[in-house]
A and B are shown apart, each in its own frame.
Chain A
Amino acid sequence: MYRYDNIDQTLVAERVAQFRDQTRRFLAGELSEDEFKPLRLRNGLYIQTHAPMLRVAIPYGLLSSRQLRMLAHLARKYDRDYGHFTTRQNLQYNWPKLEDVPDMLADLATVEMHAIQTSGNCIRNTTADHFAGIAPDEVDDPRPYCEIIRQWSTVHPEFNYLPRKFKIAVTGSPADRAASEVHDIGLHLKRGPDGEIGFEVLVGGGLGRTPIIGKVICDFLPREHLLSYLEAILRIYNQEGRRDNIYKARIKILVKALGIEAFREAVEAEWALIRDSGLKLEVAEIERMRSFFVPLPYETLADIDPTTGREPAFVAWYRHNTRAHKVPGYRAVIVSLKAPDIAPGDITATQMDELADLADRLSSGQLRATHDQNLILAEVRQQDLYEVWQGLVALTLATPNIGTLTDMICCPGLDFCSLANASSISIAKQINDRFTDVDYLYDLGHIEVKMSGCMNACGHHHVGHIGILGVDKRGEEWYQITLGGSASGISSLGTVIGPSVSKADVAETIAKILDVYVAERQEEESFLDAFRRIGVQPFSERVYAANH
C-alpha cells in the first residue's frame, strides 16, 4: 500500500498543527461557532445530536493492521470503545470531545492517516472498488490513481470552497463495486483502442434530494490526463455551480441545467488550455504510484475446495462471505459488520484489535473497508479459510449474510445525526428480528437493502434493491419504500411503491414485498431482475391491499 514520504508526513503534521491552533482559538472565544464551522468540517468534525462526530478518511478503503489498531486505540481512549464504518470508506467516532480532536488527529498522523476534507464543501475522500488489485475481472488497479487523486485534491488551493461537497469514486472492474455512477465524478478504468490505460469519465451523479445517475462526459481519457481533466471539471463547477441554494449546489444540478453536451463543451475548452501543463502525469509518476500497489509475493498454490468435510456453518459462511481472488489458491473474505444485534457498520475496539491480528496472521496485514459497511481480508490462502472463520466467529464477525437481506446499508439516523428525520438503526433491528430464518434469506438470494434517515441519502436508499427512507410526518417517524434501485452494473434509481408506512410496519411491508418476489420469480431470477421485469405494480398492490 502507499507509504508516506517526508512530504506527506509533513503535510499531515502541519495540518494537525493548524487545526490545533484553530480549535484553541475557538475554545478561547477568538473564533465564533460560525467561523469555526467551515474549519472543523474540513477536518472531519461535525457537531451532532449528542456530541461531536469525527470522520476519519480511509483513502480508497485500504487499511493496514497497524492503522486499524490505531483506530481501536482512538475508540478506547477518546470514544466509547467503538467506531462506525460509513458508506464512503470512512470511519466515524460518535462520542469524541471537541478539545481532544487535535490529539486524535495527531495520533492518526503517526500511522499515516488523517481526517482532511472528510466533510465540508471540498473534494472528499476518493473511494474505490474494495476488491481493487485482486478482482479477477479487473482492467487495472484503481488504487494508484486514487492516491494520485488523493494527493492532488488534498489542501487544493483552488477547490477548498466549492459550491458544495464533491465526491469521486474510481473502479477498475466492469462490475461497479464503488457506486461510481452516483458520485460527482465516477472514473472507470478501461483500455483504449491501442490497449493503453485510461478512463471513462462520468459526471453529475449523486443521491440526496435529487438523485441522478452520472452521465458520460468522456468516453476515453488517457490516464496521463487524469488530473488536468479533473481540474477542468472542478474549475467549471467552481465558477458556474450554484451558490444561492444549498439544495441546488451540487454539480449534478449544474450538469442537468446546462445539459451534458454544453457542460462537456465548457470542460473541454478549459481542458484544452491546461492538458499539457504541469498537471500532465508523467509515466514515471504513474509508475512510482503503481509501485506501491504491486501484487504480493503470492505462493504458488492450487485452488482447493475448503468446504470438504467441514460443518454446515462454515460452508454457509464460505458460500456467502468469501469471494474469488485472481490468484489461484487464494480467496477474499468479507468480514460482516452486520451481526443481527449491532448497528450496521459498527465495530468495537476489541474487534478491531483482534481483526488486525487476524489480518497479520492469515492475510496480508491489510484490510479494506467496503462502501456497504463491511471489511475485507483480501489475501487469504484457501487452506487458511477455516481458521479465519473460527477467528471471526469468536469475534462475532462471521454472520454469514453478505449479499442477503440483512447485509443492510444503514446511516446513523436519528439516533446520532442532527440532520435525520427518522431512526435507521431501529429499523435495521426490526428487519433482523423479523427475518431470522437464514434458509429463507438464502433462498431469496441477492438483495440489497439500503436505508437513510433523511433525504440526504447517506444510506444510499435510492440505489437499494429495497430502499427505505425515513421521513417526518407531523413529528412521527414514517418510512418511504422504493424498489429496483441499483448502483452496480446497470445503475437505476428506485421507484416509490406508494405512501410511506409507519415505523411499526416496515418489516411487515418488506415481508409482503418479498412474498410477491417469491411468487413471481422465474427460476434463478434475482429480486432486482424480477422487479425490472414485472415493475412496481404487483408490489404496490400487495402492500396496500391489506390496508383497505
Chain B
Amino acid sequence: MRQIIKDRQVVADDWTYVGKEEAAGATRVVLPLADYLAVRAGGESPVPGAQVAVSLLPADDEQALKPYLADLPLIVVEFPSTAEGRGYTQARLLRERMGFQGELRAAGGVRLDQVFLLARCGFNAFDLAVGEKLEPAIAELERFSVAYQDGAGPLTHPRRRYDTGASSAR
C-alpha cells in the first residue's frame, strides 16, 4: 500500500487513483474532476459502491467543487512536475476562500523541498514523488519557524510587528 505523509505522520493510504491504478474492488477511489462531477450529478460511479474523492489537475477549476466540499473527504491536487505552481493557488482558495476542511493532498512531482510551502498553502497530506524519503520530508515541514505571509499553521500575520516588541537582532 502507498505510504504518504498526513498530518505530519507517515500513514498507509487506502485510496485508489482511478485512471492510474487498478480500481476493481477498491473501496475508496479518487476520481478525476469530470468523473467526480458526473457521479455527484447522479451518474454511475466507475467503481460502484466505493467511497469517492476527487483529484484536480492544474488547469481544473476548483470552484466546481463548491457544492460538494462539506462531504468530500479528500481532494488530491496534482503536480505533473515540480515546476508546476497552480496547485499552490488551488490549495489556498480551497482552504481559505471555500473553507474546505477535509484532507488536502499534494501529489505527483512533489519533493521534499516543496512541502514547507505547500503546507503553508493549506496542504496537510503529501504523496511524494517516487524515491523521496518521507521522514526527512516531515522534518522539512519545520524548516522555517517564521514567515512573512499569512498562511496555514501557526505563523500568522507576521507583518504586524509594530506592537509585538520584536527586538532587534543586534
Contact = CB atoms under 8 A, between A and B. Distances in A.
B151 interface: yes
A7 B150 CA distance: 14
B168 A3 contact: yes
A239 B89 contact: yes
Contact of A22 (B92, B113, B148): B113
Contact of B148 (A3, A112, A155, A284): A155
B88 to A, nearest CB: 5
Nearest to B120: A157
Interface in B143-170: 143-151, 156-163, 166-169
B167 A35 contact: no
Most buried by B among A39, A158, A273, A279: A158
Interface in A374-433: none
A284 B159 CA distance: 11
Contacts of B162: 282, 284-285, 287-288
A154 B158 CA distance: 12
B121 A157 contact: yes
Given A121-B83, A238-B86, A151 B148 contact: yes
B117 A38 contact: no
A442 B33 CA distance: 67
Interface residues of B, number: 39
Contact of A278 (B82, B83, B150, B161): B150
Contacts of A121: 83, 85
Nearest to A30: B133
Contacts of A521: none
Contact of A285 (B117, B147, B160): B160
Contacts of A158: 88-89, 92, 117, 121
B129 to A, nearest CB: 9
Contacts of A3: 168-169
A18 interface: yes
A163 B85 CA distance: 7
B84 interface: yes
A279 B161 CA distance: 14
Contacts of B113: 18, 22, 39
Interface in A52-75: none
Contact of B144 (A5, A14, A162, A288): A14
A6 B166 contact: yes
Most buried by B among A22, A239, A279: A239
Contacts of A10: 145-146
Nearest to B122: A157
A531 to B, nearest CB: 41
B85 A162 contact: yes
B145 A5 contact: no
Contacts of A279: 150
A38 B168 CA distance: 32
A14 B86 contact: no
B20 interface: no
Contact of A161 (B83, B116, B157): B83
B65 to A, nearest CB: 16
B114 to A, nearest CB: 8
B149 A152 contact: yes
A152 B148 contact: yes
A5 B165 CA distance: 10
Nearest to A5: B166
A472 interface: no
A449 B151 CA distance: 45
B169 A157 contact: no
A532 interface: no
A512 interface: no
B97 to A, nearest CB: 7
Ranked 4 nearest A-B pairs via Cβ:
A161-B85, A157-B120, A9-B169, A288-B162
Given A5-B168, A156-B149, 8 more contacts: A3-B169, A155-B148, A160-B88, A161-B114, A238-B89, A239-B86, A284-B162, A285-B159
21 contacts: A4-B169, A5-B161, A6-B166, A6-B167, A7-B148, A7-B161, A7-B166, A14-B145, A22-B113, A35-B111, A121-B83, A156-B148, A157-B117, A157-B118, A157-B149, A238-B86, A239-B86, A281-B159, A282-B162, A284-B163, A287-B162
Interface of A: 3-11, 14-15, 18, 22, 35, 38-39, 112, 121, 148, 151-152, 154-163, 235, 238-239, 243, 273, 277-279, 281-282, 284-285, 287-288
